[in-house]
């Protein structure tokens, strides 16, 4: 590739990255707006809960893969972060299971 | 840092390390993974005590102001965009754009902190919910306060980087330092994404 063509290619690449960041930010704002509307809809708890969890997960993944560059980085960075994430998720699941049991109710609870 | 071609730097690869990842980046990802566990424990503690509120304690729905929190969330998301643009700018060696993006990120981060200070003051003075008078207050203030401290540290870091950019020693080769700061700032954003859903929105369904 000659220097002029390479420069044009780089410029196009940088512009597309800028556009991608802006589009992702707009998408995140729209999803947040939808989340806020969702909580006022007269639907069953499970459906609303599921919708909120999925929306939150989508926002989370967009930020880590696009804004935090995991999409372009070595897979080891993703593995490293997901180890922490899985351990955190497992700990949360275990704690919620353990302390949701009736015999772990605080003494002052109604 | 390796060179990808004449005059360009590959910011995603460092052939001098055994993993091919710059050591600073690996360190930051490891730290963020450990911070996930820290926030995971704080969030689950809040969710557990939310399930078993002692009698007479106001629920989250009674005290929260969803409009203000939604505004804070939007501001933090936009700060993430500006941070991504700041990293993009330094990777191209564009200091002017870097400074503008950093300044905007600092501004948005400060607005977020201001909203949080207002919210905390409102809860204590108007809603009479403090960190000591209810278990809900204890877990809520600990979780959101810890997140707020992370944002505060991020704003200090951003400000020091902005000042450093005026010394003339910050170049395209130092993009990794701005990228580390960006990773930290985006992490603060993703933690808030989870807190916004798990702590605030769940109270409304």
Instruction: Name the 3-class secondary structure at B101.
Output: helix
Q: Do A29 and B194 touch (CB under 8 A)?
A: no
Distance CA A79, CA B68 (A): 36
Cβ <8 Å between B88 and A18: yes
A27 in contact with B at a CB cutoff of 8 Å? no
- Rounded-to-integer distance, Cα A85 and Cα A64, Å: 12
* Contact (CB<8Å) A25/B47: no
Q: For chain B, 205 residues long, give each residue's pLDDT as a single digit of tens.
A: 444 444 556 666 777 777 788 889 999 999 999 999 999 999 999 988 877 667 777 778 888 999 999 999 999 999 999 999 999 999 889 999 999 999 999 999 999 999 999 999 999 998 888 888 888 889 999 999 999 999 999 999 999 999 999 998 888 888 999 999 999 999 999 999 999 999 999 988 8
Topology adopted by domain B23-204: 1.20.120
Alpha-carbon distance of B32 to A70, in angstroms, equals 13
* Residue A21 pLDDT level (bands cut at 50, 70, 90): very high
Closest-CA residue of chain A to B83: A67
Phi and psi at residue B3, in whole multiples of 5°?
Answer: -100, 130
Tell whether the model's pLDDT for residue A110 goes beyond 90.
Answer: no
- Note the pLDDT of residue B1: 42
| CA B181 remoteness from chain centre | 10
Structure tokens at B94: 């564009």
Mean per-residue pLDDT, A86-102: 86
Q: How far apart are CA B135 and CA B130, in angstroms?
A: 9
- Inter-helix orientation angle B95-125/B175-195, to 10°: 30
Decide if B136 contacts B127 (C-beta within 8 A): no
3-class SS of residue B205: coil
Query: What's the pLDDT score for residue B78?
Result: 95
Tell me the average pLDDT of chain A: 86
State residue B4's pLDDT score. Answer: 44
ipTM: 0.88
Contacts of A24 in chain B (CB under 8 A): 81
Q: List A residues 49-108 in contact with B (Cβ-Cβ < 8 A).
A: 49, 52-53, 55-56, 59-60, 63-64, 66-69, 72-74, 76-77, 80-81, 83-85, 87-89, 91-92, 95-96, 99-100, 105-106, 108
Give the burial string for B108-119 (b: 16+ CB within 10 Å, else e).
bbbbbbebbeeb
Domain boundaries, chain A: 1-68, 74-101
**Structure token digits, residue B72:** 């804070």
Query: What value, to the nearest 5°, has the Cα angle with vertex B170 and ends B166 and B172?
Result: 135
Q: Chain A: nearest CA to B168, how far in angstroms?
A: 24
Side-chain half-sphere exposure of B88, counting CA atoms within 13 A = 25
Q: What pLDDT is stored for residue A100 in this prediction? A: 72
CA angle, residues B197, B200, B202, in degrees to nearest 5: 65
Q: Is the dihedral of CA B39, B44, B45, B46 positive or negative?
A: positive
Tell if the pTM clears 0.95, that is, is over it: no
What pLDDT is attached to residue B134? Answer: 82
Spell out where chain B has E strands.
2-5, 8-10
Give me the pLDDT at residue B129, please. Answer: 85
What's the gap in Å between the CA of B26 and the closest CA on chain A?
A: 7
Report the residue from A52, A72, A80 with minimal CB separation from B12: A72
Q: Distance (Å, rounded) from C-alpha B152 to C-alpha B113?
A: 7
In chain B, what residues touch A100 (CB-CB under 8 Å)? 48, 51
């Amino acid at each position: 590739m000659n220097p002029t063509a390479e420069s044009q290619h780089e410029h196009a690449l940088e512009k597309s990255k800028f556009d991608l960041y802006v589009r992702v930010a707009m998408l995140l704002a729209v999803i947040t707006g939808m989340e806020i509307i969702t909580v006022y809809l007269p639907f069953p708890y499970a459906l609303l809960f599921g919708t909120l969890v999925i929306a939150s997960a989508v926002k989370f993944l967009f930020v880590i893969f696009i804004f935090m560059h995991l999409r372009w980085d070595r897979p080891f960075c993703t593995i490293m972060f997901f180890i922490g994430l899985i351990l955190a998720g497992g700990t949360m699941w275990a704690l919620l299971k353990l302390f949701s049991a009736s015999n772990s109710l605080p003494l002052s609870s109604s | 840092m390796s060179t990808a071609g004449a005059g360009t730097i590959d910011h995603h690869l460092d052939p001098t390390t055994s993993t091919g990842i710059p050591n600073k980046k690996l360190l930051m990802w490891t730290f963020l993974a450990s911070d996930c566990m820290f926030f995971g424990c704080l969030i689950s503690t809040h969710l557990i005590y939310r399930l078993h509120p002692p009698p007479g304690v106001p629920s989250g729905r009674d005290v929260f102001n969803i409009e203000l929190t939604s505004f804070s969330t939007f501001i933090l998301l936009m700060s993430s965009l500006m941070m991504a643009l700041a990293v993009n700018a330094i990777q191209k060696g564009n200091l002017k754009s870097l400074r503008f993006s950093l300044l905007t990120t600092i501004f948005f981060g400060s607005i977020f902190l201001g909203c949080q200070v207002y919210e905390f003051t409102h809860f204590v003075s108007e809603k009479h919910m403090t960190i000591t008078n209810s278990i809900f207050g204890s877990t809520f203030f600990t979780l959101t306060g810890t997140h707020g401290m992370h944002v505060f540290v991020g704003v200090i870091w951003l400000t020091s980087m902005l000042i450093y950019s005026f010394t003339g020693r910050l170049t395209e080769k130092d993009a990794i330092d701005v990228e580390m700061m960006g990773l930290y700032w985006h992490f603060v954003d993703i933690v808030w994404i989870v807190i916004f859903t798990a702590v605030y929105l769940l109270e409304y369904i």
